[in-house]
Each structure stands twice: as C-alpha cells, then as structure tokens.
C-alpha cells in the first residue's frame, strides 16, 4: 500500500476507498493553498475537520468548497482563530480546544511563511522561526492530551530544510546576518526535528509524528519572493536537468502537493512514518552532507532527523516560549 503513490498522486487518489467517518482532524492554515485542499479532501471522505486560520473572514470565503464537499461526503468543517505569530492567540486557541475536550485523530501543522523580510513575531522571535516552529510547538504540545491512541501529527516541512540547520545559539539572528532562505531553512529543519522529538515522547501511547515535504507548488507561500528570482531559480534547475538529460521541472498542482500530508496522516503505516521525513507519498532517505542535491531532488539531511539534536531544540524552544512540555 505504501508504494502505490508518488510525486503526481493527488489527494483524491491517495484517499480513494478510504472512509474517515468518526475521525476528527485539526488543520492549520486553511485560508489558502495546501491547507484548503488538505481540509477539503479529508472532509470529503467523512472526517470532521477543524480548520485554523489567522484571518477568519478570508478563511470563510476560501473554504466554501470545503464545506460543500464535507456535506456531500458526510464530513464536517468549522473554523477557529489562530495567529501563530502571537503566542497569546496560540494559547487561546489551544485553551478553547481543550475546554471542548473533543479528541483528535490527526493534527496537520500546515500553516507557515517563507522567505519573509527580516522581522519579529509579537513575542520577539524571528518571523519564520517564530511562526513556522514556535507557534506550532506551543499549539501542538498544549493540545497533545486531546490526541487519542492511534492519532498522528503531520508537520509540514520542506526540502528547504537543506538551506540550513537550526542555530540554537542565535535563533533570532541577533548576531548572524539575516538571509530569508537561511531563516526559512532553519524553521523547516525545526519542523522536522519537532516531529522527531514529539514522536519519541508519544509513541508509547500510540501517537506518532512525522514531517512532510509537499513538493514545489505555486501558492501564496511565495508571496514574499521576487518573481524574477523565482524564475531564475527554475531556469537554473532546468539547465541542470537538461545537462543530465532529464525533462524540465514541473510544478505540482495543489491536490498533488497536499497528497503527501493526507498519505502520511491516514494511509501510510504509522510505524513506517513515525519520526521520519516523507516526500512524494513515500518515506524520504537520508542524503549525506557531502552529497550535492538540487532544490528539487529528493532526500533529507541527517541533522534534521538526529534525536539528540531534536531534544536540544525542544529544550531551547521551551526556554524561548517560557513553557515546559
């Protein structure tokens, strides 16, 4: 079953024949792109999806199809407010979910930002690390008691983790020159390491965690990038591919991009994906640091899956947010 799908598989293909009636799912970032499609696919197959978004008005308009498919497929959908760049909002969201005491079978930490200008969250963290990692770190750990036996956490990571390992001595670029893609790489490496540490802590009670790379998709995520810069990157990739006798790079569609999230969340064997990095609907392999890999080739760097490194990040994250989990 785990080998049936690949880079071009869509959410509906991955979920063909799967019934999610009675399952409850939390998906963050449902106002655009992958989050909308992830929520739609799961709700269409019978799941009750709680979608979290910073801008509820935008999310309400963006998720009309999610609600329609939920009604048709026997699922359900609702929105909750969550601003990952404000820990007060993160804690309020978690508190509200805990007060309802309704369990989750799957949590998909999908929301994120990429290559932003230098800035800080409301709590003073570098924008990408604070939003992509620390916001989810607090949210997921606070609602962890709601995750029932057999539940899974899926963290949206990226091949962008290969831009940089985390810097636990200078997470906010106070002493390091800021680079948008280095910062993005740090945050995506953190997403993977968080999954590794969370999986280690919760596997004994039957809860597993994994990180996924959705692939190259054109969504709002790239809104901070100069279009000319993006075109130049693709041109360089295609030049390399042509030299190797390979076809040109093709963007994934949004249903193809969201497929790995739902595959890892409900289709793949839990033991296969727990504490691992997944891409193109399969478990990724470690690529040694001395091996050059392109922006679109497969593979995960070893530093992103190192258990001791994951524990160090966990401790540093606790210090930064002022909570122990």
Known catalytic residues are 184
Angle between helices 135-143 and 307-321 (to 10 degrees): 90
Q: Percent helix, strand, coil in the chain (nearest 5)?
A: 50, 15, 35
Q: Give the whole-angstrom CA distance, residue 298 versus residue 311.
A: 25
**Residue 122, SS3?**
coil
Q: Which residues pair with 210 in a beta bridge?
A: 154
Q: How many CA atoms lie within 13 A of 173 on its CB side?
A: 20
Q: Give the whole-angstrom CA distance, residue 80 versus residue 50.
A: 7
Q: Give the whole-angstrom CA distance, residue 136 versus residue 308.
A: 20
**Residue 105, SS3?**
strand
Q: Is 193 left (phi over 0), alpha (psi -120 to 50) or beta?
A: alpha
Q: Give the whole-angstrom CA distance, residue 321 versus residue 180.
A: 22
């Amino acid at each position: 079953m785990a080998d049936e799908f690949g880079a071009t598989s869509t959410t509906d293909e991955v979920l063909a024949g799967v019934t999610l009636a009675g399952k409850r799912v939390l998906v963050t970032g449902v106002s655009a792109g992958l989050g909308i499609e992830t929520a739609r696919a799961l709700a269409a197959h019978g799941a009750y999806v709680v979608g979290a978004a910073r801008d509820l008005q935008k999310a309400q308009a963006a998720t009309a199809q999610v609600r329609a498919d939920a009604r048709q497929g026997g699922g359900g959908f609702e929105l909750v407010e969550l601003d990952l760049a404000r820990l007060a909002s993160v804690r309020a969201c978690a508190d509200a979910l805990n007060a309802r005491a309704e369990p989750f079978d799957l949590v998909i930490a999908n929301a994120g930002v990429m290559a932003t200008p230098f800035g800080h969250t409301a709590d003073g963290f570098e924008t990408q690390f604070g939003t992509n990692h620390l916001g989810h770190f607090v949210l997921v750990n606070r609602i962890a008691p709601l995750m029932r036996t057999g539940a899974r956490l899926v963290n949206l990571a990226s091949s962008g983790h290969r831009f940089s390992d985390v810097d636990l001595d200078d997470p906010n670029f106070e002493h390091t020159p800021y680079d948008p893609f280095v910062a993005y790489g740090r945050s995506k490496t953190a997403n993977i390491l968080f999954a590794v540490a969370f999986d280690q802590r919760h596997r004994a009670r039957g809860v597993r965690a994994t990180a996924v790379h959705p692939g190259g998709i054109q969504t709002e995520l790239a809104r901070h990038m100069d279009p000319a810069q993006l075109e130049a990157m693709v041109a360089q990739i295609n030049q390399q591919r042509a030299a190797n006798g390979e076809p040109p790079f093709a963007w994934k569609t949004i249903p193809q991009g969201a497929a790995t999230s739902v595959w890892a969340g409900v289709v793949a064997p839990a033991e296969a994906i727990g504490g691992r990095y997944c891409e193109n609907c399969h478990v990724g392999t470690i690529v040694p640091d001395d091996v050059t890999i392109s922006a679109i080739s497969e593979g995960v760097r070893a530093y992103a899956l190192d258990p001791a490194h994951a524990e160090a990040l966990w401790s540093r994250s606790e210090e930064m947010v002022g909570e122990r989990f």
